[in-house]
Amino acid sequence: MSVFDIVLLFLAGFLSGAVNAVAGGGTFITFGAMTLAGLPPIIASATSSVTQFPGYITSTLAYSTDIRHFWRGALLLCLISAAGALAGALILLALSNPSFRALVPWLLLAATALFAAGPWLKPAPKPGDEASVGSLAGSVAQFATAIYGGFFGAGMGVMMLATLGLTQTGDYHRLNALKNMLAVVIAAVAIIVFVSGGVVAWPQAIVMIPGGALGGYAGVWIAKRVPQNAVRGFVVAVGLFLAFYYFAKG
């Protein structure tokens, strides 16, 4: 890696951690930075999963009190999420870089649209309701979301929160806690597959992870001073730029 690449990746990790803390969407930044640094898209996507994982862990720990109330009931969704993530990650590894590259701009456009619509996809608050996690529709929707999460992952959190809001009961914070818990499972399974497949760029990941940790801490400061819509607009702009970049690059 050149000095420029190191600086680019560290700053991307920092921005990713910051925007995840405020509005989500950090995957757009990490994936984009790694592709601009010359990594093939499959390796960039797999490595991005590694760099995002610490944030999933910390956000889940922040909801530990809520998770204590429903974790036993959520075990089935965890198993479903693991199976879906395994399928998605294996599908990614089965593709060639040219094949995946052809899909990337469409995936980015879809994920950007989903992320932009995030505020309208949030579940309506249901104060006092316990999080129920046993519905068939919820299981099917979670399996599909987990496949996407294992395959690409950008916008996964928004997608999962929307489907959980439609298929489960519980107030927003408990659904968000469940989403974070399931995201850890999806990311962990995908990372195991990617590491076993030898598609993780560890030097780049090592550069980005400390930046992400610092960015997550700084995100608290940013959240108090920068409107969430401004951060969301920045992430959408990055997603559109990357999509058109891949369309133009062919």
Amino acid code (one letter) for 189: V
pTM of the model: 0.81
pLDDT score for 93: 93
pLDDT score for 122: 63
Q: What is the dihedral of CA 33, 90, 195, 103, to 10 degrees?
A: -10
Are 118 and 159 a contacting pair, CB within 8 Å? no
Q: Which residue has the tokens 């995936």?
A: 107
pLDDT score for 172: 64
Are 120 and 183 a contacting pair, CB within 8 Å? no
Q: Which residue has the tokens 């592709």?
A: 35
Task: Spell out the per-residue pLDDT of the chain, length 250, in tens.
Answer: 889 999 999 999 998 888 777 666 788 889 989 988 999 999 999 999 899 888 788 777 877 887 887 777 788 889 999 999 999 999 999 999 888 888 888 988 888 887 787 677 665 655 545 545 556 777 888 899 999 999 988 778 778 877 877 777 666 667 778 888 898 899 999 999 999 999 999 999 999 999 888 887 777 677 667 776 787 788 788 888 888 888 887 6
